[in-house]
């Protein structure tokens, strides 16, 4: 029986990438997207890419960042899936390589129990271009899930994970039920269930 569900956020619970949306609003979208493109071809380090992307946000208003975070578009079916899982008494958690400024509003809207992400450092209401938090590295999600399982006394078969990207592989390795949602080919190869329609309600049908 599943007792814990871990969700990725960007392009999973949320329809888009938070860093791209922030960068577009600040006029540096092309620079940030070029880093994403480079990552897919040269396998650059996840930490280095995150730090580089956030550096382009230096000087952006933190108030504006929070406003954008409140309006991030949730994925089609997000409400229905979370409501379904909660009805089964499943504990819901977000693991995001993005930012608390994005996941916090979504957690309230979707009744998510817990979330882990990164903080956009700011001073005098201005982003400094620095970032820090619990999800800075490629293996962060796996390490955090290990801790959660130990704390909640859960076995792998009591955990399901839903994600789409390279940094979700680590949490898949710690999970019993692995669901790839509109994911890259590598993650799909490691999944038990692959959903290729942008509608999270498809997961309800699959499980």
Cα–Cα distance, 172 to 146 (Å, whole number): 11
Cα–Cα distance, 42 to 156 (Å, whole number): 32
Cα–Cα distance, 48 to 43 (Å, whole number): 11
Cα–Cα distance, 11 to 8 (Å, whole number): 8
| Residue 144: closest CA among 95, 92, 90 | 95
Those residues with Cβ within 8 angstroms of residue 47's Cβ, 6 or more apart along the chain or in another chain? 136, 137, 138
Helix (H) or strand (E) run with residue 4 in it: strand 4-7
Place of tokens 């999270």: 200
Phi, psi dihedral angles at 34 (to 5 degrees): -65, -35
Cα–Cα distance, 38 to 122 (Å, whole number): 27
> Is 30 noted as a catalytic residue in this protein?
no
> Is 8 noted as a catalytic residue in this protein?
yes
Cβ–Cβ under 8 Å, residues 28 and 98: no
Cα–Cα distance, 163 to 165 (Å, whole number): 6
Which residues are designated catalytic? 8, 10
């Amino acid at each position: 029986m599943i007792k814990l569900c871990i969700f990725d956020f960007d392009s999973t619970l949320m329809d888009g990438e938070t860093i791209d949306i922030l960068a577009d609003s600040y006029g540096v979208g092309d620079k940030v997207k070029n880093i994403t493109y480079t990552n897919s071809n040269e396998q650059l380090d996840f930490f280095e890419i995150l730090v580089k992307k956030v550096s382009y946000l230096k000087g952006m208003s933190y108030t504006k960042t929070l406003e954008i975070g409140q309006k991030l578009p949730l994925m089609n079916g997000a409400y229905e899936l979370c409501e379904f899982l909660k009805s089964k008494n499943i504990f819901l958690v977000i693991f995001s390589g993005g930012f608390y400024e994005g996941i916090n509003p979504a957690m309230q809207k979707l009744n998510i129990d817990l979330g882990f992400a990164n903080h956009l450092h700011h001073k005098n209401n201005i982003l400094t271009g620095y970032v820090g938090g619990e999800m800075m590295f490629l293996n962060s999600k796996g390490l955090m899930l290990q801790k959660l399982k130990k704390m909640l006394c859960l076995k792998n078969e009591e955990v399901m994970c839903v994600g789409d990207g390279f940094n979700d592989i680590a949490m898949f390795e710690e999970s019993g039920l692995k669901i790839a949602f509109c994911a890259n080919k590598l993650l799909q190869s490691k999944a038990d269930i692959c959903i290729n329609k942008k509608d999270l309600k498809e997961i309800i049908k699959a499980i």
